[in-house]
Structure 1
Amino acid sequence: MLQRAIDQDQLNAFLSRWTADQAATLHAATVVIGDKLGLYKALAQGGRQTAPALAASTGLNPRLVREWLNAQVASGYCEYEPESAVYWLTPEQAACLAEPDSPTFVAGGALVSNASHYDTDRVVRAFRDDGGIGWHEHHQHLFEGTQRFFEPIYRRHLVKDWIPALDGMEARLRRGARVADIGCGQGASLILMARTFPASRFTGFDYHVDSIKAAQRNAEKAQVADRVSFQVTGAQDFEGEDFDLICVFNALHEWGDAVGAASRIREALAPEGLWMFTEPLADPYPQESVRGRTFFSVSTCVCTPSALSQGGRESMGAQAGEAELRRVAHAAGFTRFRRAAETPMFMVLEAS
């Protein structure tokens, strides 16, 4: 089969895109650095300041601080005035980069990208072997980054939008309900719900020991440990029955036997109980989009290897789509399935 001659304009356009992607990839490391060293926070709190002033307030190397600041300017992550050589964050930049309690904070999520680079050699080996990498085998930055990426999303949507979208669930939680979170990670969603619905009781399950330990510490710090507990167990082995609400936040596609896990969830629900689970929005077929680039990439490195490591029947990946998720729910015995809410990146599904 003859290939057509290279179109120079298309070639240049692709090279321009690759150059931009490389720049973004490299810049992501400076976001991790700025977050870990408190540079964004100090820049936001100090207002307009020079590089030496920021270095002095943080106790960091002045030359490296100046280079880091210029990297932020080049990427649009801070502002700069050449005449006075001062740098500052706009309120919008600060809300995303310097304020961990902000519902739009994203800097902590850069650790997820960082983890994928730490784990590249491990993923290459998985390609050449059985494809499996357990969640626990990844770099620590993945666990911390996942918590810090999703927690602001939960603060922005979980109690305000998602719970009210479920059929009658908000009133039940206020009266007092039993709630489980399967694949709970470090406990962010349950802690938020426990603060909002003090009459209810919450249990988180996750097979990753270190995440459960972190979740217990986080619950104690949030002063909700009296109504939130955590257990180390897998998605099909968790204990308990008659839960009014079982949640699964962006974890179903990482399980090797999604139907088996969904079946166990159905068995553990009370007669009028609901299963709420979130999954990434997906296009009907692969196409160019920021969402697709994000989720197919993380699925290649994390989600699909996680499912393959479990030796089960499923390896859906992070872009399984609503039709496939509906199939899983119906195969597990759920008869009612609907999309209750969505964000630009995720859908909130309800099954009973």
Structure 2
Amino acid sequence: MNKRASLKSEQELRDQILSIASLGQVAMAMALGVELKLFEAMATVCKASPKHSATVAEVAAQAACKERYIYEWMAAMACGNLIDVDPSGQHFSMRPEHIPVWIGGEGQLPEHSLHVIDFLPGFGGAFNKVKEAFRLDGPPGVPYSAYEDTFYTVMAAWSRTIHDGELCSGYMELIGALELLQKGVNVLEAGCGAGFHIEKMARTFPNSHFTGIDLTQSAINTATTRCEGLPNVKLICGNASHLDKKWTEHFDVVFFIDSCHDMCRPDLAINEVQRVLKPGGLFSMIEWPNGDGNVYEDRKKYGSAVAALFYAASAMHCLPVGSHVEGALQLGNMMGHGRGRKLLEMGGFAKDKIEVLEPPFMPYNCIYTARK
């Protein structure tokens, strides 16, 4: 294969830069649409229209937003080929088969990529801090607090679109935890964030007792509101690398769900998992994506668009928050199976008791399991 086969001509490169710049602006406008429920407003108007179309005034009224702003937003969506516009430039439409992608349907959640887009405003808010972290004389990383409290809400919404259908069924069965949780055991989720996973598990498995811990108080506050009224949930603001000394051999199951790669010292956290697990206890870690730790292989595996999305998100968030203390391991979200396995081995789990799984029902995720 020609070593230069993947390189573009000068004009192709210019076109690619323009395309990315354009799509970046459209993505920010889409994030506005998600936050302000503009897609829902347009879908509501279109579904009620005999011609399945909507005017700016109708969408603005439905969304309780200013017409002038809504025109600019709808024009951006139309020029981005996300919605249609007629030759008059006044009537916009959302194709019936596209509506479930935007807002979900009966028993169906919206497209999960919408919630990936919803991360962008938070990334933008931390832009200058990330920029400084890149510099040789800058800080080692960026604290979670720089990404605003809304990060956890967005993360919970994204997790729901990926994990909602299988978390308490296919996933639990796959890792051998289903019967345990049904019977009733002590469970810890480290890095519980806004509480989506722990709430769902607690409601599904009322015989089990769940403890959630997260480094950020705002996340715990959100999780507490989400889990209000659940007697089998306890939520604590704390560091997974320094768990309560009273928890030694207390838990039957420990979960890290989309959290390990954001930890500064996941090796210390996994050492703590070993301590707090009962003998024979189960540790399971969901990571995204299931990368190979080699950018060339990741690009082949996922395609350029998806691989670039993962690495760019890591550069803007996962790597900075996982680097903000001296001595951090700086994993990033594309750490790869090899490094994931090594972390578990460093934490004291035997090689022959570690499994790495890639279930089709959790796209882009990989699952690590280990027994004490």
Give the Cα separation in 1 of the matches to 2:332 and 2:319: 5
Aligned to 2:126: 119
Aligned to 2:4: none
Alignment of 1:48-63 (within 5 A): 48=52, 49-63=54-68
Give the Cα separation in 2 of the matches to 1:124 and 1:78: 35
What per-residue deviation string (whole Å, max 9, x for no partner) do you get for residues 65-92 of structure 1?
A: 2221222222233334447954343455
Give the Å deviation of 1:179: 1.4
- Matched position secondary structure for 2:356: strand
- 1:210–1:294 distance in 2 versus 1, CA, 3 Å: same
Asked if structure 1 preserves the Cα contact closer than 8 Å seen for 2:292 and 2:335, the reply is: no
Task: Specify which of 249, 266, 272 is matched with residue 264 of structure 1.
Answer: 272
Aligned to 1:12: 11
- 1:138–1:57 distance in 2 versus 1, CA, 3 Å: closer
TM-score (norm 2): 0.84
Task: Specify which of 200, 218, 227 is matched with residue 219 of structure 1.
Answer: 227
- Matched position secondary structure for 2:187: strand
Alignment of 1:156-235 (within 5 A): 156-167=165-176, 169-220=177-228, 223=229, 225-235=230-240
What per-residue deviation string (whole Å, max 9, x for no partner) do you get for residues 37-67 of structure 1?
A: 2211111222222222212222322232222
Give the Cα separation in 2 of the matches to 1:19 and 1:139: 30
Unaligned runs of 5+ residues in structure 1 are 1-7
- Matched position secondary structure for 2:141: coil
- 1:92–1:165 distance in 2 versus 1, CA, 3 Å: farther
Alignment of 1:15-94 (within 5 A): 15-46=14-45, 47=47, 48=52, 49-82=54-87, 85-90=90-95, 93-94=98-99
TM-score (norm 1): 0.89
Unaligned runs of 5+ residues in structure 2 are 1-6
- Indicate yes or no: 2:311 matched with 1:296: yes
Give the Cα separation in 1 of the matches to 2:354 and 2:160: 26
- Matched position secondary structure for 2:26: helix
Aligned to 1:5: none
Give the Cα separation in 1 of the matches to 2:130 and 2:293: 26
Alignment of 1:92-107 (within 5 A): 93-99=98-104, 102-106=108-112, 107=114
**Identity between Structure 1 and Structure 2 (%):** 21
Aligned to 2:358: 341
What per-residue deviation string (whole Å, max 9, x for no partner) do you get for residues 162-184 of structure 1?
A: 111112x1111111122111011
Give the Å deviation of 1:243: 1.5
Task: Specify which of 247, 262, 267 is matched with residue 254 of structure 1.
Answer: 262
Give the Å deviation of 1:263: 1.0
Asked if structure 1 preserves the Cα contact closer than 8 Å seen for 2:103 and 2:110, the reply is: no
Give the Å deviation of 1:185: 0.5
Which amino acid is 1:25 matched to?
A: G
Give the Cα separation in 2 of the matches to 1:172 and 1:205: 21
Aligned to 1:4: none
Asked if structure 2 preserves the Cα contact closer than 8 Å seen for 1:162 and 1:341, the reply is: no
Asked if structure 2 preserves the Cα contact closer than 8 Å seen for 1:55 and 1:65, the reply is: yes
Asked if structure 2 preserves the Cα contact closer than 8 Å seen for 1:114 and 1:141, the reply is: no
Alignment of 1:271-282 (within 5 A): 271-279=279-287, 280-282=289-291
Give the Cα separation in 2 of the matches to 1:119 and 1:305: 10
Aligned to 2:330: 315
Aligned to 1:305: 320
* Aligned alpha-carbon RMSD (Å): 2.3
